Amino acid sequence: MIDRIRRYVPVLDWGRRYNRDALHNDLMAAVIVTIMLIPQSLAYAMLAGLPPEAGLYASILPIVLYAIFGTSRALAVGPVAVVSLMTAAAVGQVAEQGTAGYAVAALTLAAMSGAILLAMGFLRLGFLANFLSHPVIAGFITASGILIAASQLKHILGVSASGHTLPEMLVTLAENLPEADPVTIAIGVGATGFLFWVRKGLKPLLIGRGVKPKLADVAQKAGPVAAVVVTTLIVWGFGLADTGVAIVGAVPQSLPPLTLPSFDFDLLTALFVPALLISVIGFVESISVAQTLAARKRQRINPDQELIGLGAANLGAGFTGGFPVTGGFARSVVNFDAGAETPAAGAYTALGLAIAAMALTPLIHFLPTATLAATIIVAVLSLVDVSILKTAWAYSKADFAAVAATILLTLGFGVETGVSAGVTLSILLHLYKTSKPHVAEVGLVPGTQHFRNIHRHKVETDPAVLTIRIDESLYFPNARFLEDYILGRVVEGGPIRHVVLMCSAVNVIDFSALEALEALNHRLKDMGVALHLSEVKGPVTDRLEKTHFLRDLTGRVFLSQYDAWVALTAGPPPAKAAE
DSSP string computed for 50-105? S-HHHHHHTTTHHHHHHHHH---SS--EE--HHHHHHHHHHHTTTS-TTSHHHHHH
Is the confidence at residue 571, as pLDDT, over 50?
no
**Predicted confidence (pLDDT) per residue in 228-255, tens digit:** 899 999 999 999 999 889 998 888 888 9
Which residue, among 40, 55, 350, 46, has the nearest Cα to 195 in the 3D structure?
40
Q: What are the backbone angles phi and psi of residue 73, rounded to the nearest 5°?
A: -80, -15
Q: Is there a contact between 74 and 132 (Cβ–Cβ < 8 Å)?
A: no
Q: What is the mean pLDDT of residues 147-160?
A: 91
> So what's the pLDDT on residue 94?
93
Q: Which SS3 state, helix, strand or coil, does residue 205 take?
A: helix
Angle between helices 134-157 and 182-197 (to 10 degrees): 140
Is the confidence at residue 20, as pLDDT, over 80?
yes
The proportion of the chain whose per-residue pLDDT surpasses 70, expressed as a percent, equals 97
**Predicted confidence (pLDDT) per residue in 166-216, tens digit:** 999 999 999 999 999 999 999 999 999 999 998 888 888 888 888 888 788
**Predicted confidence (pLDDT) per residue in 115-127, tens digit:** 999 999 999 887 7
The Cα–Cα gap between 87 and 49 comes to: 8
Q: Any residues with CB less than 8 A from the CB of 353 and at least 6 apart, and which?
A: 34, 37, 38, 41, 56, 59, 60, 63
The Cα–Cα gap between 121 and 125 comes to: 6
Positive or negative: CA dihedral 68, 71, 72, 77? negative
Who wins on pLDDT, 358 or 217? Answer: 358
How far does Cα 340 stand from its chain's mean position? 23
Cβ burial of 566 (10 Å; 0-12, 13-18, 19+) is middle
Q: What is the mean pLDDT of residues 323-328?
A: 92
Q: Is there a contact between 42 and 56 (Cβ–Cβ < 8 Å)?
A: yes
How confident is residue 570, by pLDDT bands cut at 50, 70 and 90? low
Q: What is the mean pLDDT of residues 530-534?
A: 96
The Cα–Cα gap between 437 and 158 comes to: 55
> So what's the pLDDT on residue 430?
77
Q: Which SS3 state, helix, strand or coil, does residue 138 take?
A: helix
Which residue, among 195, 194, 198, 200, has the nearest Cα to 219 in the 3D structure?
198
Terminal Cα-to-Cα distance of the chain (whole angstroms):
66
The Cα–Cα gap between 401 and 408 comes to: 10
Q: Any residues with CB less than 8 A from the CB of 529 and at least 6 apart, and which?
A: 490, 496, 497, 498, 499, 554, 574
Positive or negative: CA dihedral 334, 337, 342, 344? negative
Is the confidence at residue 573, as pLDDT, over 50?
no
Which residue, among 116, 125, 109, 167, has the nearest Cα to 143 in the 3D structure?
167
Q: Any residues with CB less than 8 A from the CB of 376 and at least 6 apart, and which?
A: 43, 44, 46, 47, 81, 148, 149, 152
Is the confidence at residue 18, as pLDDT, over 90?
no
Q: What is the mean pLDDT of residues 351-363?
A: 90
**Predicted confidence (pLDDT) per residue in 53-89, tens digit:** 999 999 999 999 999 999 888 888 999 988 998 999 8
Q: Which SS3 state, helix, strand or coil, does residue 325 take?
A: coil
Q: Is there a contact between 68 and 367 (Cβ–Cβ < 8 Å)?
A: no
Residue 388 identity: I
The Cα–Cα gap between 311 and 283 comes to: 9
Is the confidence at residue 574, as pLDDT, over 60?
no
Beta partners for residue 469, in sequence order: 440, 502
The Cα–Cα gap between 132 and 427 comes to: 7
> So what's the pLDDT on residue 208?
87
pTM of the shown model: 0.78
Residue 60's alpha-carbon distances to 114, 297, 321, 443, in angstroms, are 16, 27, 11, 63
> So what's the pLDDT on residue 40?
86
Count of CA atoms in the C-beta half-sphere (13 A) of 546: 9
How confident is residue 555, by pLDDT bands cut at 50, 70 and 90? very high
- Count of C-beta atoms within a 10 Å radius of residue 532: 21
Q: What is the mean pLDDT of the chain?
A: 88
> So what's the pLDDT on residue 476?
87
DSSP string computed for 383-434? T--THHHHHHHHH-HHHHHHHHHHHHHHHHH-HHHHHHHHHHHHHHHHHHHH
